[in-house]
Amino acid sequence: MRCMSLTSELVALCHRQETDPGPDGSWTQLTDEDYRSLSARLAEEADDGPLWVFAYGSLIWKPAFESVERQRATAFGWHRSFCLDMVRWRGTAAQPGLMMALERGGRCDGVIYRLPDGDKAEQIERLLRREIDDHESVSSVRWVPVRTAQGVVRALGFWVGVTGRGTSLGQPLDRVARVLARACGHVGSGAEYLYNTVSHLEEFGIRDRNLWRLQQLVADEIRSIHGSTLGASA
């Protein structure tokens, strides 16, 4: 198996200490009642069986929820894309970043997690509070049919089919690589996010062709930026 070009040593070069600027006042923040209402609606739309969550990015390596089962799954009609503009979290206003969402077209191989039996609305609300914080993002939360070895199930997906303000759809990989090699926010860098995603997908035997190419491009970009400071190990 080929090793990743993007290494932890290269990722470390992208880290900077940044201050959390707080919520952007131009977005409409969700209230506690909004979260309760949305989670109740999604719980009503859920199937009678177990609650599944589809993970394709950070939910794979930082799920922030308890699960009792996980397995590979494929969402057809969607593909991973660094298309969410970030001026917080993993970017700043001075050096904006990009985060992943699912754009239309193609297929996305990921992982589904089955949550413990219990109050679905309560479980969904915890997920919503992790993933979204404004009204403008609500439409990106949806039930996604995914194919598994046992058949098709419906799983809750986040940042699916995003459009409009705050998105940069269909960007070429070389442009994305330039952003990820430079952007860093108070929770970490874009390169770190990519590295964690690709390496954890590899653990499941999943190699996303675009992400694999992207990690090579980001590694090259970091080397071009920090060439004079790189040690032999990088």
Q: Can you give the CATH number for the domain in which 167 is found? A: 3.10.490.10
Q: Average pLDDT for residues 165-173, to the nearest whole number?
A: 95
Asked, for residue 10, whether it belongs to a domain, the answer is: no
- Quick check: 98 pLDDT over 90? yes
**Dihedral over Cα of 112, 65, 90, 87: its sign:** positive
Model confidence at 223, pLDDT cuts 50, 70, 90, reads very high
Residue 38's nearest CA partner among 111, 141, 182, 130 is 141
- Quick check: 1 pLDDT over 80? no
| pLDDT for res 190 | 98
- Contact yes or no for 83/167 (Cβ under 8 A): yes
Q: Which residues are catalytic?
A: 131
The per-residue pLDDT for range 42-83, each reduced to its tens digit, is 999 999 999 999 999 999 999 878 899 999 999 999 999 999
| pLDDT for res 213 | 98
- Quick check: 234 pLDDT over 60? no
Model confidence at 227, pLDDT cuts 50, 70, 90, reads confident
Task: Report phi then psi at 185, rounded to 5.
Answer: -125, -165
Asked, for residue 114, whether it belongs to a domain, the answer is: yes
Stated pTM of the model = 0.93
First to last CA, the chain: 19
Residue 127's nearest CA partner among 195, 181, 193, 58 is 58
Asked, for residue 187, whether it belongs to a domain, the answer is: yes
Q: Average pLDDT for residues 179-201, to the nearest whole number?
A: 98
Report helix, strand or coil for 77. Answer: strand
Q: Identify the residue with better confidence: 193 or 165.
A: 193
Task: Report phi then psi at 69, rounded to 5.
Answer: -160, 150
| pLDDT for res 228 | 61
The per-residue pLDDT for range 9-28, each reduced to its tens digit, is 999 999 999 999 998 888 99
Q: What is the mean pLDDT of the chain?
A: 94
Cβ atoms within 10 Å of 177's Cβ, excluding its own: 25
- Contact yes or no for 120/49 (Cβ under 8 A): no
| pLDDT for res 65 | 86
Asked, for residue 22, whether it belongs to a domain, the answer is: no
Q: Are strands 151-157 and 142-148 parallel, antiparallel or unpaired?
A: antiparallel
> Strand runs (DSSP E) across the chain, as ranges?
52-55, 69-86, 97-114, 142-148, 151-157, 184-185, 188-189
Range of the domain at 91: 46-224
Q: How many domains does the chain have?
A: 1
